[in-house]
Amino acid sequence: MASKKKPAPRKKRSIASPPSRKAHTGRFWRFLRTVCVSAVASFGAATCALHPQWRDYVNIEFVLAQLSLPREEQVASRVLPAGAQVQTHFSRCQQFFPDGRAPVVPTGHALRELCFSSFAILHNGQTKTPVFVAQRLNRQMLARSKLVQRTDRFYAEARLPFSDRAELADYRGSGYSRGHMAPAGDMHSPEAMAQSFSLANMVPQDQRHNAGAWNSIEQATRKYIMRAAGNVYIFTGPVYTGPPETIGDGGVAVPDYLYKVVYDAVSGRVWVHWQANSPNTKAGPPISYDEFVRRTGLRLLATG
C-alpha cells in the first residue's frame, strides 16, 4: 500500500507592522494642507477675477500664511509669566537668535511669543504692537528676496486674542502708516512675504518717516548684509516713553521712537539705529548697544 505524501508545510507570510497612528496623522495633515492650499488659491483667484470689487474681502495671503505655519503655531501662542524681567524662550524658532539664546525683557501685559517662517515676534497685548521682531539674514537670503513679489495684503493676527491685537480698521483713516518691523523687502520666500503683512509685525508709523529716514536705514542694513561674511541678526521694535497716543477703537499705541539693533555674528560688531517716530527725523549716527540697553531695559543679545 502506497504511503500518503505529507503536504508541504506552508510558508509563513511576513506581515509588515502597520504604520503608527502618528505617521498616519502626519501624512493626513500634509495631504489636507496641500488640498486646502490648492482649493483656497483656486477659489481666491476665480473670485477676484469674476468680482474685482471683492478683493478687499478675500484675503488669500492671510489664509496661505496660516496654512504655511507649523500646525501647533496656528493653534496657540506662548504667553509669558509676569515679573520684573522676563526670560523669553521661542523654543520653536530659536534660529532667529544668536546661539539660540532668546532675550530678557522687562515685563509687560500679555506678552506672547509668535514664530513665523522668517522672523519671530514678542508681542505686547497692551500696546497691540511688538516688543521686538527678530530676524536672521545673510547674503544668500537677500539674493532670494529679490525674486519674491511684494503682496501688500495686511491682515489681523488670528493667533492673538481679539482684545490684544490690532485690526485693519484701527489703522484706517488714522494718518499713520502700517510700519513693518521686519521689512517686506527682507522676505526671501512667498510664505515669508505673506506673513510679513500680519498686523502683529506693524506699528503706527509716521508716513514721512516710514518712507524717508527709516526706509534709508532698512536699505543700508540690507547693503551691509550683502557684504557680511555670514549671518546678521536684527531686532526691530517700538519704544514708548510715556502714556502713548492711540489709534482706532482698539487703541493701538503710537510709539515715540523706533529702534533697529544690528548684530554681525561673524565680526561681533553691533550697533543700534534710534529714530524718533516723527516726520522731520533724519537718518543720523547709531547709538551703542550699551546705551540702548540703558534706555529700554531690553537685553536682546546674550552678552547684553
Q: Which three cell numbers stand for residue 273?
A: 539705529
What are the residue boundaries of the structural domains of the chain, listed by start?
75-296
CATH topology of domain 75-296: Extracellular Endonuclease; Chain A (3.40.570)
- Kindly report the pTM of this predicted structure: 0.77
What's the CA gap between 132 and 261, in Å, rounded? 10
Cα dist from 206 to 91, 171, 259, whole Å: 34, 12, 14
Task: Give residue 22's pLDDT.
Answer: 46
Q: Looking at residues 271-283, what average pLDDT do you find?
A: 96
- The one-letter amino acid code at 50 reads L
C-alpha cell at 172: 484706517
Cell numbers 477676484 label which residue?
48
Residue 263: what pLDDT?
A: 98
Element (H, E) at 40: helix 21-50
Q: pLDDT at position 302, please?
A: 81
Mean pLDDT throughout 243-268?
Answer: 98
CA distance 172 to 177: 9
Residue whose C-alpha cell reads 521694535 in the numeric block: 237
Asked whether 90 and 104 are in contact (CB, 8 A), the reply is no
Q: What is the pLDDT of residue 205?
A: 98
Instruction: State how far the Cα of 247 lies from the Cα of 170, in Å rounded to an integer.
Output: 6
Q: How far apart are CA 3 and CA 232, in angstroms?
A: 86
**Helix/strand/coil percent split, the chain, to 5:** 35, 20, 40
H or E stretch covering 290: helix 289-296
255: exposed, middle or buried (C-beta count within 10 Å: 0-12, 13-18, 19+)?
buried
Q: Distance between CA 202 and CA 188 in Å, rounded?
A: 19
Q: Which amino acid is at 258?
A: L
DSSP 3-state of 273: strand
- Per-residue buried b or exposed e for 115-143, using 16+ beta carbons within 10 Å of the residue's own CB: bbbbbbbbbbbebbbbbbbbbbbbeebbe
Query: Looking at residues 7-20, what average pLDDT do you find?
Result: 47
Strands 104-106 and 176-180: unpaired
Q: What are phi and psi of 268, to 5 degrees?
A: 80, 0
The pLDDT, as a whole number, for residue 74 is 44
Lowest mean pLDDT among 34-43, 78-87, 163-172, 257-266: 34-43
Is pLDDT at 268 greater than 60 in this prediction?
A: yes
pLDDT tens-place string over residues 83-142: 578 999 999 999 999 999 999 999 887 999 999 999 999 999 999 999 999 999 999 999
pLDDT in tens, 147-191: 999 999 999 999 999 999 999 999 999 999 999 999 999 999 999
User: Closest by alpha carbon to 203, among 192, 214, 193?
Assistant: 214
* pLDDT confidence of residue 33: 52
Q: Which of 89, 109, 180, 209 is catalytic?
A: 180
Indicate the average pLDDT of the chain. 83
Contact 185, 217 (CB under 8 A): no
Residue 42 has pLDDT above 80, yes or no: no
Q: Is 180 a catalytic residue?
A: yes
Measuring CA to CA, which residue among 290, 291, 261 is closest to residue 273? Answer: 261
Number of Cβ within 10 Å of residue 292's Cβ equals: 25
